[in-house]
Structure 1
Amino acid sequence: MSGESTATLDALDWAILEELQRDARSSYAELARRVALSPSAVTDRVRRLEALGVITGYHAAINPVRVGLTIQAIVRLKYPGTAHQPLHQLIAQRPEILQCHRVTGDECYVIRIATRDVAHLEQVVDELARLGSLTTNVVYSTLLPRRAVTRTSAGG
């Protein structure tokens, strides 16, 4: 995320962020109680954090297996050349592609996929393989599905 400025956050901002990551459905009144501020002060701070781009959205965490996506895989793609638009188009078209990171190293991209079954995974992987060479790893289990960003992890 180069080129983006870093927001200056105080301890109360971090407390709000940690509470929202724990439960983004908390009301402003509940959030205010948890961080020992007034609801109006919390509302102002949350709006400021949103305006600064610190809070970029609110999401429901979905268990892929419970919705029929029983196979998850990590695909590492070595992409030849510099015309990356075909990959961008494929990402936009394939909802099975949950995440895509451009990375350093031998591979150019690390992609997380969730599919119904192995045959479905094979279809998605075959489409990606048209773009470059890949390595696919099927996920057995997930030890850490998501970790909150905290003041400590940000070095504060």
Structure 2
Amino acid sequence: MESCGPTMIMLQHSSLVETILECIVQMTYFMPIALGASDLSTLAGDNSDKKSRTFVFKEGGHTFGNALRCIISRYPDVVLCGYTIPHPSEATMHFRIQTTKSAAVDVLKRGIEDLEKLCDHTLTVFQVKLSCSLRLFEAS
């Protein structure tokens, strides 16, 4: 377990704490859904090259899309990675991946798994720091 250190979250900033936790929980909750076959499809006519695909996520949003884009765009064989939300009234996200070597679907799966690990780590560190801060606050 990590020591408390100087990082202390004051209880007056509970709205910030709630916002951070909400984002982490939303992304962690969405991970298994993103891997479900019924919630993920590809655009029609996009099957000619396995290294280039546009995936359509149901219920995908900017929180998940931008986080996943940040992870995947750092992979060395990724040439293009981006997402769009076609219309605010639609609950879909189009996620485009182009690679030089790997199949786009494999890169997507790896990206989702890496993002899930990052969310788990962030939540663990946040909970440790929050409990340390609460102990320090209660002791004062």
TM-score, normalised via structure 2 length: 0.30
Structure of higher RCO (CA pairs closer than 8 Å, 6+ residues apart): 2
Larger radius of gyration: 1
